[in-house]
Amino acid sequence: MTRLKIIGVFLFLFFGISLYAAEPPREALSLQDAFVNVSKEVGQAVVSVSTEHTERYQTRYYPFAQFEDQFFNDFFNDFFVEGPQKEFKKMGLGSGFIINKEGYIITNEHVVHGADKIKVTLPDAREFEATVTGSDTYSDLAVIKIEPKGDLPFVKFGNSDNVQIGHWAIAIGNPFAFAVKNPEPTVTVGVVSALHRTLPVTDKRTREYSDLIQTDAAINPGNSGGPLVNIYGEVIGINVAIFTMSGGSEGIGFAIPINTARRIVDDLMQGRKVLYGWLGVIIQDMDANLAGYFGLNDKNGVLVSRIVSASPAERAGLKPGDVIISLDNEKIKNTEVLIRNILKRNIGDKVALEVVREGKIYSATVEIGERPEDKTVVTEKKAEPKAAEKIVSSWRGLEVSDITSEIAQRFKLNSENGIIVTGVQAGSPAEQAGIRQGDVIYEINRTTVNNVKDYMAIVSKVSGDTLLGTYRGYVVLKEK
């Protein structure tokens, strides 16, 4: 026996230490094999989507010489001559996945938006020109098609309704095939971190996403449109966005549930317009202050803050201040649950709502309408121009003014009815309630406020907690 073996036996017998690497547990090998199988089976149907968009801009020719004095330069440069239009090519990258042997591919709408030319590269290096058969901005989904020569691999759909937090999540995409000169997709692994996530509109993101799957599987820019799959190789989502401070993956990625996509894919494949159900209500979640004001035992339910004119909700008799607590006997916990239920319905379906109004439960039957094309939800006839009247002395920390034509234009308001908040005192009840400069107040304690005169008459009589109706929703203003 060699000296090394003798030492190894001694260490193992007395200290339980082995100099030799142990074999991985069988469970770990099985899991590793599953990841390998998923990457092979699904990866062959994941494609790279590159787009080209031509943008044009106007050139300008300055016929005058430049002077040392900037004043003269500014003056003479006002007299320019327009030159010829020039154009440049804007490139885009994303991912997608093949869903059938006919060559239909799912990707994100923002990947192909405005594209003049779309090229699809398969993992086996085949390249195809693609056309958009249908796209939908609201869901951020699109279907593109290639004309295959021979068989195409395609994915299997899973059931995203069965996805649970903690399930394995595998993100597949190939955004950088052109850069690394390799058409094979990349694979990252994580878990489902959360469900039913919402991403609101921001300065950098112009659309709102709801009911998303959150995962810590690394999703990088360009992975948009690629599949999120489970451990069985079934697609459970479509990678759509990341939350990042650095521009790269930070373990917070989001995917559109595949069940959401499947409801509209047939329409997109046929080039049909995607229709969405709509009640015509502006809604908000409840909080402890609102629940207390309306006499509710908890924060469950959805508060109706405004009703769109001539909408299904108005025809059904719903009113601002109603709290929706159930839909077709299913409890409505918050706005996400209500929206998710409405989107599952077809245009023309009738739903039974239970609402709390002034402490009593009422029933209402609403026929689902078609969601309007534009985002305008409330339009009112503008009043005649009027002079602004400003309140110097504040009430509960609020300083307000009438809405003039200039103010309406500045804040892009559809109406001059109501009053606008011009200032909020630090530490006041108004600040604590979340009121901010620029908010429009149109209602106080369920009484309409058209102008400063109405406002003064109401606040001179109110006491205790007060309900304010603003364009951002209802808030409760504490007395102290």
Task: Tell me which residues are annotated as active site.
Answer: 110, 140, 224
Name the token pair of 280: 């015509």
Phi-psi region of 185 (alpha: psi -120 to 50; beta: other; left: phi over 0): beta
Q: Please state, in angstroms and rounded to a whole number, the distance separating the CA atoms of residues 7 and 66.
A: 87
Q: Please state, in angstroms and rounded to a whole number, the distance separating the CA atoms of residues 138 and 130.
A: 22
168-207 per-residue burial string, b: 16 or more CB within 10 A, e: under 16: bbbbbbbbbbeeeeebbbbbbbbebbeeebebeeeeeeee
Name the token pair of 103: 């060559």
Residue type, 213: I
In 3D space, the residue among 358, 366, 410, 359 whose CA is nearest the CA of residue 388 turns out to be 410
Residue that has been written with the tokens 């997109």 in this structure: 268
Bridge partner residues of 302 (DSSP):
285, 324
SS3 43: helix
Bridge partner residues of 297 (DSSP):
none
Residue 119 · residue 130 · CB < 8 Å: yes
Burial class for 13, CB neighbours closer than 10 Å (0-12, 13-18, 19+): exposed
Q: Please state, in angstroms and rounded to a whole number, the distance separating the CA atoms of residues 151 and 193.
A: 36
Cβ neighbours around 390 below 10 Å, total = 11
Q: Please state, in angstroms and rounded to a whole number, the distance separating the CA atoms of residues 403 and 471.
A: 14
Beta carbons within 8 Å of 333's beta carbon, 6+ residues apart: 300, 301
In 3D space, the residue among 35, 33, 48, 93 whose CA is nearest the CA of residue 184 turns out to be 48
In 3D space, the residue among 420, 428, 380, 422 whose CA is nearest the CA of residue 404 turns out to be 420
